[in-house]
Homo-oligomer: A and B are copies of this chain.
Amino acid sequence: MITRLSQLFLRTLREDPADAEVTSHKLLVRAGYVRRAAPGVYTWLPLGLRTLRKIEDVVREEMNAIGGQEMLFPALLPREPYEQTQRWTEYGDNLFRLQDRKGADMLLGPTHEEMFTGAVKDLYSSYKDFPVTLYQIQTKYRDEERPRAGILRGREFVMKDSYSFDMTDAGLDESYAKHRRAYQNIFDRLKIDYAICKATSGAMGGSASEEFLAVSPAGEDTFVRATEGEYAANVEAVVTPVPPEVPLEGQPALQEYTTPNAETIDTLVEWARAEGLRVDGREVTGADTLKCMMVKTAAPVGPGEAKEWELAGVLIPGDRALDEKRLEASLEPLEFELASEADFAQNTFLVKGYVGPRALNAHGVKVYADPRVVKGSAWITGGDAANVHIAQCVAGRDFEVDEFIEAAEIKEGDPAPEGQGTLTLERGIELGHIFQLGRKYTEAFDVQILDENGKRAVPTMGSYGIGISRMMAVLAEQRADDKGLNWPVEVAPYQVHVAVANKDAAALEAGDKLVADLDAAGIEVLFDDRPKVSPGVKFKDAELLGMPFIAVLGRSFADGIIELRIRGGETLEVPAAEIVDKLVELVRG
């Protein structure tokens, strides 16, 4: 297949679009892959559509390989099934809602659990029909509050969503494992740098859940990776290693100190060092102090009901900030707020800046604590009076913890689990999410299947998504350089870019022959045959457009040499007679 640049519907831009902040957005617009139609809504120009379709094909192949069956639901959906699962309202402003000419409520599908579950309920009735995995590659709609970064987070976007239905939990584990492997294959084939992150299961209530995050500074999510090993996790899902307990016997008694000018952890550490306090024979650090953050928590209530707030303290080593996202994930389904001035005023035993765990114990306030606060651990903490701190405050002796909780920030260098070195903090773009949903939807739709014993059983479900259009943005983010895009061979719009950068008629003729020969060899070629464009502009465009191999018929063509530029790599000088074989070899990899 040959496409001539002189005819391609394309105009490359030298300037970044005004609204673009990240690399992929800038380059995909400048290189004429996509074009904005409305905020968060993009048009796929010919080059962009070719890459999008190729990514879809990779995903399709891997989904078919695990027995997935492709189908296609409408994007325009009736309200009823989404009403049945409360998502019609739960989605809030993220859902595009509309009414048809008869006033019926409809929506543009953001995800299709309801529809797939309904289809399985209608078509299947016996355990013999299971397991089944269904998927679609479809245009989806979410009315994002802040659509950003071009196709990285659009309001209309292409997604692969699949759903597994199994009769047993072991079956769900197997379907989940197959999807996990398929996703790895997809991202490996596309040469994406990604991490599989343990995710918190969140409000969905399922048992297992992992996110596939592309490593990228343009990402909105922070995650951790082990320096030595495979471990990676969402920050919310990181589990703090628990240190061994310390015997209570023989520990020095709690001691109270007057500590003027020690209102921050830094000044407290300074004071402790000046005071000559030591821990295990070494100098005191922030990690030896214990902060007591006051919050209040409440269980969720129905509309119109008032929440019953309950005061609680959260104990965290002084060298770490409270990570509200981690706290939120840990407390779920409870909600929380930081305690207000009013809360302090109402509870006079709380001395702001000097709250310690003993007052909380004494007044029956629930004490949450970081897992490091093991029995026998000794801390410098607030003394429940102004300008008072206490040292040698030992957990399990001087105060009690009601519940351990993940609420402290994760820091670069924290230990990774199972001896995998330490943790690094990275930014990531969510590419995919696999999820053991369980029976939430099959129960909501009362899916009853006859099992082997002729009894009714409810199948269990997995839900698995990959952002197809987002994957294209990720490829641009991870692989571009300052000159332009750089596609992996498998999803490049064309495998080879041929540029005639020589005004001799012979060069153009040789170019014509070269592209014909490449086409005959089954290579997809983009041919820059534009007669009046300078070599410099042709080179710039070739680098911007990002085909993996660029063959230039330039100055050295007179000597029978074709310049072969490997995008983002070396430049070879290849005799004209060998160029087709060389390119075929490179393309076939």
Residues in B whose Cβ lies below 8 Å from that of A41 = 74, 76-78
B73 with A37: CB separation less than 8 A? yes
Stretch from A93-101, A185-193, A348-356 at the B interface: A93-101
- Shortest CB–CB separation between residue A294 and chain B, in angstroms? 35
Any chain B CB within 8 A of the CB of A145? yes
When C-beta atoms are compared, the residue in chain B nearest to A92 turns out to be: B101
Q: Which A109-147 residues have a C-beta within 8 angstroms of B?
A: 115, 119, 122-124, 132, 134, 139, 141, 143, 145
Stretch from A2-10, A245-253, A562-570 at the B interface: A2-10
Q: A44-B72, A71-B45 are in contact. Are A9 and B134 (CB under 8 A)?
A: yes
Residues in B whose Cβ lies below 8 Å from that of A72 = 43-44, 49, 52
A106 to B98, CA, bound (A): 10
A93 with B98: CB separation less than 8 A? no
A37: which of B49, B78, B132 is its contact (CB, 8 Å)? B78
A74 with B38: CB separation less than 8 A? yes
A77: which of B37, B48, B74 is its contact (CB, 8 Å)? B37
B43 with A115: CB separation less than 8 A? yes
A75 to B7, CA, bound (A): 26
- Shortest CB–CB separation between residue A108 and chain B, in angstroms? 7
A38 with B77: CB separation less than 8 A? yes
- Shortest CB–CB separation between residue A182 and chain B, in angstroms? 17
A106: which of B9, B32, B38, B44 is its contact (CB, 8 Å)? B38
Any chain B CB within 8 A of the CB of A46? yes
Any chain B CB within 8 A of the CB of A67? yes
A78: which of B10, B38, B134, B141 is its contact (CB, 8 Å)? B38
A46 with B74: CB separation less than 8 A? no
A70 with B43: CB separation less than 8 A? no
Residues in B whose Cβ lies below 8 Å from that of A108 = 76, 98
A35 with B96: CB separation less than 8 A? no
A141 with B76: CB separation less than 8 A? yes
Identify the interface centre among A7, A39, A43, A44: most chain B CB within 10 Å of its CB.
A43
B69 with A9: CB separation less than 8 A? yes
A75 with B43: CB separation less than 8 A? no
When C-beta atoms are compared, the residue in chain B nearest to A109 turns out to be: B37
Residues in B whose Cβ lies below 8 Å from that of A100 = 96, 143, 155
Residues in B whose Cβ lies below 8 Å from that of A32 = 123
**Told that A8-B69, A38-B77, A38-B106 touch, could you supply 18 new A-B pairs with CB distance under 8 A?**
A9-B132, A10-B123, A11-B123, A11-B124, A37-B73, A37-B77, A38-B74, A38-B76, A39-B104, A43-B119, A74-B156, A75-B139, A93-B101, A94-B101, A96-B100, A97-B98, A98-B98, A98-B108
Q: Spell out A's residues near B (CB within 8 Å).
A: 7-11, 32, 35, 37-39, 41-46, 48-49, 52, 67, 69-78, 93-94, 96-98, 100-101, 104, 106, 108, 115, 119, 122-124, 132, 134, 139, 141, 143, 145, 155-156
Q: What are 27 inter-chain pairs, A to B, with CB distance below 8 A?
A: A9-B69, A9-B132, A11-B123, A37-B74, A37-B115, A38-B74, A38-B76, A38-B106, A41-B74, A41-B76, A41-B78, A42-B74, A43-B72, A43-B119, A44-B71, A44-B73, A45-B119, A46-B69, A48-B71, A49-B70, A75-B75, A75-B156, A76-B96, A97-B98, A98-B108, A100-B155, A139-B139
When A and B form their complex, which 9 residue pairs have the shortest distance between CB atoms, in order from nearest?
A98-B98, A44-B72, A38-B78, A93-B101, A11-B123, A41-B74, A101-B143, A76-B156, A46-B69
